[in-house]
Structure 1
Amino acid sequence: MKSFFKYVLATVTGIVISFFLLVIVGLIIIGGMISSMTANKETQVADNSLLHIDLQHQITERTIPDPFEELDVPGFNTTKSFGLNDILKGIEGAKDDKRIKGIYLDLSAVSASFATLQEIRDALLDFKTSGKFIVAYSEGYTQRAYYLASTADKIYVNPEGSVDFRGLASQIPFIKGTLDKLGVEMQVVKVGTFKSAVEPLILDRMSDANREQVTSFLGSIYDHFIDQVGASRHLTADSLRAIADGFLVRTADDAITYGLADGKRYKDELLGELKDSLDIDPDNDLNAVALTKYKPSGPSTSASVRDRIAVVYAVGDIVSGEGSDDMIGSERISRELRKVRRDDKVKGVVFRINSPGGSALASDIIWREVDLLRKEKPVIVSMGDVAASGGYYIAAAADSIFAQPNTITGSIGVFGVIPNMQGLMNDKLGITFDGVKTGKYADFLNNVDRPLTADERNILQMEVNRIYNTFVQRVADGRHLSKEQVDSIGQGRVWSGQQAFANGLVDRLGSLDDAIAAAAHKAGLEDYRLVTYPAIKNPLESLLGGSTDRISTWFAKRELGDQYGYYQQVKSTLGQRGVQARLPYILDVY
């Protein structure tokens, strides 16, 4: 009888849990359907309006509809994302939209990296050529937010707010001490004096070579930051450096005194000034449309235009297999590259890369498809925030490479890491291993309970050397350089886009739009359609096609918030297989 009641109770509990899960999934599906139906609904824009740009979103390369973002269930909100493609499209559309008179930059928080900010900044500067105004406001400007704000005709700050202007910094966490405490030794084989990717695992501080390269490329990015801000604010580079070095700007009054801001305003005072500039009665509301809701009409393309320029997006770590929207799968991206190669309507291709690299084998598989494509159609690479190591590998075969001055690139180097957990297993956990094998190397790379033998380490080093030589040859062939030249700027060294342009790894400094224009010019096109790959699924298709992964990601983002990126990094590191060509740590410049 006791067993009977136990099984009944278990059954009832399972039914209750299943019911609630079905309710949640049902809400998700309904939200996805609503999102799908309303995605293309145009927001009405009144005459005499402002475009309200609020960048408190995760900025991705392009907008990927997510049904979970549309759910309005208490306690189940997630961080929303917004694509750079739609941000740029919105600003460009507002430039020629007679209903929109100016832009209100609401810069309470900006999380994008500097190359992405450069694209947005250039779009804002282009917007100003229309004669329309930009006003920036924030309670406190971070340096990234100020980089965008510096384009504005007027920069206002809350009277009790601040402007952060202290220079750039980059910090890397080192976990060797943690591994030592756990009894884990990371056995490293690599090629490249500057290939610092493995340093967090085997050192407790930066090596001299790594400090040299980070100092160099961070200085290059800072130089560009200072030059751009100085040109917009009519301040000299020396004065801006003095302000940063002395930490002279800490309050709103300091910002005004040193020319970084134009005035102090509370929000109501700002709104009153905007109403006055638009000749709106003080008792009436401002007409404003959010950038996330604004659907510009854009230039019309004749239905008879057959020729196309394809933009193929490759975003995230490079892995074998299918990958995802935020992970470059060799199978998926190769398949998309084959599609555009075989499509007679596609006359030119832009390969948009935003990747720290990853699997060397997967990178070579993608490189092969780029090389085949280039032999039939023009291929222009456009680099985003980072296109380093494997991210540069897959770019090397293109006809031309575009990068932003503050793109992180290069890192032509290779490494492999094999953990030795003997200390952890034997000494910490009391676990020992024993077995038999039919050959000297039968358990090579399969056991992590012992150190590598000298012969095994030598084999690994030869394999890493071979892959590095292949990497260097790919770059030498693609860039029309000798192997010696590539090796001299390789060795795992990281460069800014500005430096890469100077040493020949990049052909031009420019935006994604510049790359598209170059592809059209090389293809001899004046009229063309723009098509993107891989195709974006609507929210419902995306949900039904991979609900388990979507749900787990949704819950992870909800629980971890801003720390989700670190979770992604750990998950990616644990999933690495084979020899790597990548930057495995998060390089955060702030």
Structure 2
Amino acid sequence: MRNFFKIFFASLLALIVFTVIGIFLLIGFISSAASPEVPVVGSKAVLVLDLSVNFKEQAQENPFGSFISNAESEVPSLFDVVRLLEEAKSDSSVKGLYILAADNANGFSSSEEIRKAVLDFKKSGKFVLAYGETMTQKAYYVANAAERVYVHPQGGLEWSGFSSNLFFLKGMLDKLQIEPQIFYAGKFKSATEPLRETKMTEANRLQTAVWLGDLYASFLRSTTTSRNIDSATLHELAINGKIQTAADALQYKLVDGLKYDDEVKGEMLKWLKKDPKSSINFVTINEYAQATSLGNYTSGGKIAVIFAQGDIVSGEGDEEQVGSDVFKNVLRKARLDKDVKAIVLRVNSPGGSALASDVIWREISLAKKVKPVVVSMGDVAASGGYYIACNADAVFANETTITGSIGVFSIVPNFESFLKNKLGITTDRVRTAPFADMGAGDRPLTEAEKRFFQSATDSIYTTFKTRVSEGRERSMEYVDSIAQGRVWTGTRALQIGLVDKIGTLQDAVDHAAALAKLDDYRVREYPEKKDLFQQIMGGYKKSIRSSLISEEIGLEQWNFLKQLKQVKQMVGEPQTRMPYFLTVH
């Protein structure tokens, strides 16, 4: 027996030693692989902007990307893309911009910022070509800023107007005998409609028609400016379905030509004054990001740019959420840092937990007392997203930003009939007080309990409106008139006083610098990037899983599945969240 233990512990020790050695070797191997050679732009480069890439608010680094393609292991942020196009404008090695515009994975507000950057790049006099075998409307929104727009002769251009499709689950819940006991404040608060209705309420239909019409109007205006075709004619083309083929798009001057890929590249060679048989030095925006310094090394004051992207949740959250604990600490750190002279909060969130939103709001209020705080809104800054934005010194939004949705709701599901009639499960209980099991889910709420939940919802709604009233310096009566859970675009939000200016993230940063009286500044981004080891040992597996699933089933279907998962987050805790089935085609 003694020999057995000696052999056992010797083997165990050897296993531990080899495991530790293996871990260090693996870390060393990964670290060396993750330090790729910096790409070189070279001469006569053509910068490639692929709109099918989703440029998020912060750069997305794949810790395993180094094993596949060093140059493409990191996707730059939307802010970086805009600044890189600005850099390329004066970069003598970059001769033109090639926009791959078959599809566009970015939201309308993000696309608006990219489009403005493309228009600014054109001022350099360098060529800008856009091409897609087939081209969606959202891709065309950016592509029509190019000097020349081409589609494949057998391809086409989508031109059918916009639609917003909502999915309703009430019929399914009725069949399953699941009762979603819902409490809400605000007649336009439509986030719970899919659970309590089989079609849009008239209030929701009205607000959807307005904001969708605003997005469409912005799309038509941009096309009018770029293609010199009046918006009435453009709208008539969609109404009568006149754009069905690539030839139709050319006939009505929406594109400049029908070309194959080799013909587009042949035209680029002419612009570059190179031999027709030469190759083109294409440099992707990812490669250019790694090869280019954005000049963030000045000796001026520091501006903290804090990116709040995703659902607002209590606690830490994950890399795709705005966790109140994380952002509370980030804001506090920026407030206490004497080198930080101003804070810019970039909000791209549909909201979420009312409590988590208030935790973040509190830190913004404290920061505002000691240094300028400016908010920049992305694709969506609604409900809880607006809650955390309303108290800033200045609020910027793009024309196509979706914001507002000032309202509250709570959901308490009742599974009693489902458990009993579908699964044969019954429950019983002993309690020391009549409300000890309130909201348990296996029985309906009593009338008294329903009053409690509605009272809590109304109370949070009043607090929300108070935050807006104080932050925007408007009366409670006025705030109530524009609240009610109603969704607004950035353009209308400016008109009714929910935002101060239409502008990009860079505009917001410049304004923060002006408020802080900084002639020169450097930007520091938060939350800070995790190092390679943190990414591997942390929650990066979720991003990998999400990426693999979305690639397999398609981005639209994956977004639908994510929206279904959000229902779970809405149960129990009061929510300041906008409609979660919000899609535009």
Distance of 1:32 and 1:403 partners within structure 2 = 41
Structure-1 residue corresponding to 2:118? 124
| Matched residue type, 1:259 | K
In the other structure, the counterpart of 1:6 is none
Does 1:46 pair with 2:42? yes
> What is the aligned counterpart of 1:63 among 59, 66, 72?
59
**Which stretches in structure 1 are left out of the alignment for 5+ residues?**
1-21
* 1:349–1:378 Cα contact (<8 Å) kept: yes
* CA apart distance, 1:46: 2.1
Helix, strand or coil for the counterpart of 1:293? Answer: helix
Gap runs ≥5 in structure 2: 1-19
Q: Does 1:269 align with 2:285?
A: no
Q: Is residue 101 of structure 1 aligned with residue 107 of structure 2? A: no
2:510 — aligned with what?
517
Displacement, 1:80?
8.2
Contact persistence 1:414–1:492 (CA under 8 A): yes
Q: Distance in 1 between matches of 2:73 and 2:154?
A: 28
Match of 2:7 in 1: none
Match in the other structure for 1:37: 35
Counterpart secondary structure, 1:575: helix
SS in 2 for 1:111: coil
Residue 582 (1) aligns with residue 580 (2) = no
**Would you say 1:282 and 2:280 are equivalent positions?**
no
CA deviation after TM superposition for structure 1 residue 565, in Å: 2.6
Report if aligned partners of 1:62, 1:84 keep a CA contact under 8 Å in 2. Answer: yes
Distance 2:418 2:29 in 1: 47
Does the alignment pair 1:488 with 2:481?
yes
How far 1:282 moved relative to its partner?
A: 1.2
Deviations 1:230-268 (A, max 9, x none): 101111111111111111111111111111001111111
Counterpart of 1:13 in structure 2 is none
Contact 1:79–1:561 (CA<8 Å) still a contact in 2?
no
**1:472 and 2:465 are equivalent in the alignment:** yes
How far apart are the structure 2 equivalents of 1:434 and 1:160? 66
Q: Please point out which of 435, 443, 467 is paired with 1:450.
A: 443
2:376 to 382, 407, 423: 382
**Structure 1's 561 and 243: CA in aligned 2 closer, same or farther, altered over 3 A?**
closer
| 1:270-323 CA distance string (max 9 Å, x none) | 1111111211101210122111111364564565x1511110111100000011
- Bigger mean CA offset, 59-68 vs 250-259: 59-68
The root-mean-square deviation of aligned C-alpha atoms, in Å, is 2.3
Compute the displacement of 1:108 (Å): 2.2
Partners in 1 of 2:344 and 2:411 — Cα distance? 34
Q: Which residue of 1 aligns with 2:152?
A: 158
Mapped to 2, the partners of 1:129 and 1:278 lie a distance apart of: 18
- Give the Cα–Cα distance (whole angstroms) in 2 for the partners of residues 466 and 63 of structure 1: 39
| Partner AA of 2:505 in structure 1 | L
1:136 matched to 2:134? The reply is: no
Structure 1 residue 83 corresponds to structure 2 residue 81: no
* Residue 567 of structure 1, CA deviation: 3.3
CA distance in 2 between partners of 1:33 and 1:397 (Å) = 43
Shift of the alpha carbon at 1:55?
Answer: 2.4
CA distance in 2, matches of 1:31, 1:220: 52
CA contact (8 A) 2:85 2:118 kept: yes
State whether residues 117 and 148 of structure 1, in contact with CA within 8 Å, keep that contact through their aligned partners in structure 2. yes
What is the deviation of 1:132? 1.3
Change (3 A) 1:512 1:25: farther
Rounded to whole Å, the distance in 1 between the matches of 2:60 and 2:534 is 12
- Whole-angstrom distance in 1 between the partners of 2:382 and 2:248: 39
* Paired amino acid for 1:471: F
Is the counterpart of residue 542 in structure 1 residue 535 in structure 2? Answer: yes
Q: 1:356 maps to what in 2?
A: 350
Describe the superposition over 1:407-446 as per-residue Cα deviations: whole angstroms up to 9, x where unpaired. 010000000011111120111111111111111101111x
CA distance in 2, matches of 1:547, 1:120: 27
Partner of 1:10: none
The equivalences for 1:542-561 within 5 A come to: 542-546=535-539, 549=542, 552-553=545-546, 556-557=549-550, 560-561=553-554
Residue identity opposite 1:104 in structure 2: Y
Instruction: Describe the superposition over 1:431-473 as per-residue Cα deviations: whole angstroms up to 9, x where unpaired.
Output: 111111111101111x212111110000111100100000000
Give, in whole Å, the separation in 2 of the partners of 1:502 and 1:140: 37
Report the equivalent of 1:234.
Answer: 228
1:324-372 Cα deviation digits (max 9, x unpaired): 2210000000100000100001111100000000000000000000000
Alignment check: 8 A CA contact 1:378 1:523 kept: yes
Separation of aligned partners in 2, 1:547 and 1:48: 38
The letter for the 1-side match of 2:63 is: P
The 8 Å contact of residues 410 and 490 in structure 1, kept in 2 or not, is answered as yes
Could you tell me how far apart the structure 2 residues matched to 1:256 and 1:572 are?
43
- Structure 2: distance between partners of 1:30 and 1:567: 38
**1:437–1:396 distance in 2 versus 1, CA, 3 Å:** same
Note if contact 2:380-2:403 (Cα within 8 Å) is conserved in structure 1.
yes
TM-score after normalising by structure 2: 0.92
Which residue does 2:418 correspond to in 1? 424
Contact 2:315–2:324 at 8 Å: present in 1 too? yes
CA distance in 2, matches of 1:31, 1:199: 52
In the alignment, the residues of structure 1 paired with residue 26 and residue 164 of structure 2 have an alpha-carbon distance, to the nearest angstrom, of 39
Distance 2:358 2:342 in 1: 22
CA positional deviation for 1:528:
1.1
> Corresponding residue for 1:332?
326
Residue from 436, 460, 466 that aligns with 2:453: 460
Cα gap change, 1:199 to 1:80, in 2 (>3 Å): farther
- What's the CA shift for 1:130? 1.1
Once the two structures are TM-superposed, the CA of residue 111 in structure 1 deviates from its matched residue by 1.4
Q: How many residue pairs were aligned?
A: 561
Are 1:312 and 2:310 an aligned pair? no
- Partners of 1:420 and 1:449 within 8 A in 2: yes
Report if aligned partners of 2:472, 2:497 keep a CA contact under 8 Å in 1. yes
Partner Cα distance (2:552, 2:31) in 1 = 25
Q: What amino acid does structure 2 have at the position aligned with 1:106?
A: L
2: CA distance, partners of 1:358 / 1:243: 40
Structure 1 letter corresponding to 2:452: I
Deviations 1:79-101 (A, max 9, x none): 98552123222211111101111
Residues 198 and 94 from structure 1, CA distance in 2 versus in 1: closer, same or farther, beyond 3 angstroms?
same
Q: TM-score, normalised by structure 1?
A: 0.91
